Structure 1
C-alpha cells in the first residue's frame, strides 16, 4: 500500500491498477472512498483504459484484425510502475508491452498522477503516444464514494447536487451496450436524492450533462464532497445493487452502441492521438 499524507488528509493507493483505495479526513475520521466489500463490488476506484464500458460482442476490429477486450479494458488489472514525487504527489505509469499488444495493437504510456491538497485530491490521466502511428483510446474514472448508513442517516439522506442541470436525460443500457432509448430524471433545485432503485437497471449514462461540478451531501451529517471535472464529454453514475456507495464517473469515451459496426476508428467518443503527442484530463474531489 502506498500513501500520501498532509496535515488534513491521508490517501492510500495500490500499484495494482493504480487504484485509489482510501481518502480519509483527519478532522472527522471519515473515509470517503468505498471499502470494496466483495459481496457488493470489490473495487474502490478503477481506471478505465483503453476502452470504457463494453464492446459489442466483446470485440473490435482495427487494421483488418479482430481483438477482444473485457469491459472497461485492461488497465485496472495491470501492475503500474510507481514514482513517489513527494509526500503529497504520486505518479503511476503503465506502458505497452507484448501482452497488451495481443489485445490492443498500440504503443502507449498511461500515467495516473495523484496530488493531495489541503481539502481533497486531484486525479490526472496523462496519455502519451511514443509510437509513429495514431493512438486510439478512451480513458475515464470510476471512483466509488462511500455513503455510510448510521442510526441517524440512511441512503436516501444522500443527495447529488448538480451545478448546471435542471433535469437529467440518460441513455438506457441494453446488454451492456448503449441503446437509443433515453429517459429523464427530474431534479428539484438541481438536486437528486439517492435511492438504491435508481441503479437497478445499471448505470445512468449521460451524453449531454451540463454540470462540471456535482456535490454529494449527507443531509443529516452535512458531510460530503464536491466533485469537479472538465473536458469529459460523457458521465456515468452507478452503484451496485443495494450497496452503500455511489460512483461518479467522468469519461472520455463510452460503451459501444447497440448498432455499432465494431470498427475502433468509428467508435463513439474514441480519441485519436497523433504520434509523439501527449494528452491529459483530470478530476478533483474536495471534502467537507
Structure 2
C-alpha cells in the first residue's frame, strides 16, 4: 500500500511494506530526488535495516547458547508496518515482534518510524522500544538511494559529495559481505568526492570514523541537489549498485560482521544495548533544493 504526505515544498510517498520511503518530489520543480527502483540494477528505494545492519557471518549468530539465522539487513524491510497519518505533513509507521520474529530474533520490541516534513526537509526518526524484560541487542540504519542525475538529466559524473568535516575518507573493504581489515584512504580536494561508478565496483564504502555529520549531493550543471544531515550514527556507508545512477547515503548504528567475528551476538561490534522498557531514538534529515 502506498501512502503519502506533502506540504507546499515536497510531496513524499511511502510503502507500508518496510515503511520504505519511495519518492521525494519537489512541488514546483517536479524533481524526484529518490532513485526510481529500476530492478535491472536494484529494486529498492530506502530499506530500513533492522535488527541488524549488513550481513552476519554465515547468516547466523548465537545468543544465550542458542543459534539463530537472520538474513542480511534483518527482517523489517520485508514486513508490513501499521501506519498512522498524524497530519498532512507527518506519518508514523509501527512494527512489533511476532511469534515468527521471535524465532529468529528473541527480543520483544516495537519499532517506530516517524517521517515529518519541515519546509523543504524530510526528517526520518527511528524509535526502538524494548518491550521485554531483558536488555535488548539491536542495530538499525538507513539506506536511502538518491538519484544522480536528478530527473535523468546529465550524467553520473556531473555529481559529487561534499563533506562538512572530512579532508580524507578511510573506508573498510568488504569481503563476501563481511567487513575486512583492509582499508583504503581517499584524499579529498575541498572536502569533495566526485562520483564515478567505479567507486562501488568493490561494494559499499564503509566508514567507522567519519567526522562529518552533513553531506551534500551537488552537481556541476545546475543548483539542484540535497543536504543530508545525521547525528549519533557511529558508522556510515556509501553505496551504489554496479553502474546504477544513484548513491545511497547510509547512517548506521551497527555494522556487518567482521571476517574474524565469533558470531556471538553479545560480542558483535556496533550493537546497541537497550534496557527493559526503555526507548532509543535517532534521526536523519534530507533537505532538497
Is the pair's TM-score, using the shorter chain for normalization, greater than 0.5?
yes
CA distance in 2, matches of 1:83, 1:55: 33
CA displacement, residues 14-46 of structure 1 (integer Å, 9 cap, x when unaligned): 110000010000121100011100000000000
Counterparts in 2 of 1:111 and 1:149: CA distance versus 1, 3 Å: closer
Q: TM-score, normalised by structure 1?
A: 0.98
Cα distance in 2 for partners of 1:20, 1:152 equals 22
Match of 2:286 in 1: 285
Report if aligned partners of 2:149, 2:158 keep a CA contact under 8 Å in 1.
no
The equivalences for 1:250-269 within 5 A come to 250-269=251-270
Contact residue 33 and residue 150 of structure 2 kept, 8 A: no
SS at match of 2:276: coil
Q: Which runs of 5+ in 2 are unaligned?
A: none
Structure 1, gaps ≥5 residues long: none
Per-residue deviation at 1:148?
A: 2.5
Which residue is 2:68 aligned to? 67
Matches within 5 A, 1:93-132: 93-132=94-133
Quick one: structure 1 residues 226 and 151, their matched pair in 2 at CA, closer, same or farther if it must change by over 3 Å?
closer
1:153 CA drift (Å): 2.2
Identify if the C-alpha distance between structure 1 residues 68 and 27 changes in structure 2 by more than 3 Å, giving closer, same or farther. Answer: same
Distance in 1, matches of 2:262 and 2:66, equals 14
Aligned to 1:47: 48
Q: TM-score, normalised to structure 2's length?
A: 0.98
Distance in 1 between the 2:150 and 2:234 partners? 32
Alpha-carbon distance in 2 for matches of 1:238, 1:218: 18
Structure 1: which 4+ aligned runs deviate by more than 2 Å? Answer: 148-153
| Aligned position for 2:238 | 237
Question: 3-state DSSP class of the match of 1:101?
Answer: helix
Q: Tell me, yes or no, if the aligned pair for 1:149 and 1:155 is still in contact at 8 Å.
A: no
Aligned CA-pair RMSD: 1.0
| Number of equivalenced pairs | 288
Q: Is the 8 A contact 1:152 1:220 kept in 2?
A: no
In 1, Cα distance between equivalents of 2:134 and 2:228: 35
2:31 and 2:150 in contact (8 A); partners too: no
Distance 1:163 1:274, change over 3 A: same
Q: Any conservation in 2 of the 1:19–1:44 contact (CA below 8 Å)?
A: yes
Secondary structure in 2 matching 1:99: helix
Equivalents in 2 of 1:218, 1:182: separation in Å? 28
